[in-house]
Structure 1
Amino acid sequence: MQKELNQAAIEGFKFAGVMGGQTAFGGSEVVVIMARDKALETKPRYEYKLLATNKTSTMQKELQQAGDAGFEYKGQTVFETSFGGKEVVVILERDPDAKIVPYEYKLLATSKTSTMQKELAEAAKEGFVFVGLTVAETAFGGNELVTILRKQK
């Protein structure tokens, strides 16, 4: 899917939204909407990175590598893989012509809303801001809240 996102970007499209789930004919899919304004210049402008994993530590590591390279969070969802497991999918974007602005990302995953509230408050004190949330059954730990936060480095 990352290849398709970047091909659409070459054609002047920009990420608009993402959702994972069951579709009528495709089974379990991640559906991404890309859009472009025909009135605007359509030169290739954005580059996309798609991260998909069922492990919190792997997602945190990959998010941070992307953040160091200047990729900005755009959306996330959970979907069922063809192997029967569930993964969190994150889409990131950057303008390859712009100066790299590195981000520090923090992934929080818990099954208890009270724990999430406490962890969000602590992260906010460190300067992190909320960028995305999924609530779903994942391999991260059953039914979980998976929250992504970021701050500029």
Structure 2
Amino acid sequence: MSRNEQYQALMQLYKSETGNKVVDMEAMADWCIKRGVALPKPKSARDLLVAQLSDAARAEYRQDPKTGLSYRANHALRTTAKDGRQLTFWVDIEDATRPQMVYSLGNRRQQMVADAVHLKIDEMIWNSRHPNEQPIQLVMDFTEDVEERLNSPGFGPNDAAA
């Protein structure tokens, strides 16, 4: 059984024992610790630094002087090493080649598609399990949402100084 499967089984046991249908993970962690569940090995200081550096790269946004639009400065280039480890390299949008940007943007788009597929499946399952309630019907075409955001306060060139 994988670690995630073990934790999922613990969550089911926690809900069964406590009667809680909504789980506070901090309370569940305390519950696990009291029952002797082994605590995970902490990351090394180097691993924490790598994660913090990646978070900082991901969080850097700049403002385009011409349009006033905010854009992500650094883009992830994910790959798999020969030994199976996942590696992520970061490239500044100003330095990125066209193939690097196509690759990065394509990966981000695929992440969005995967999220949308799981969202749709969750909607379908909930609707099938609650046939006596009004079905949830989410719109999966984001074209209007994107246009609305691009034209909302804070996104346009006249809002750059605000």
TM over 0.5: no
> Highest Rg: 1 or 2?
2
More strand by share: 1
TM, length-normalised to structure 1: 0.23
Q: Which has the higher contact order (CA 8 A, sep 6+)?
A: 1
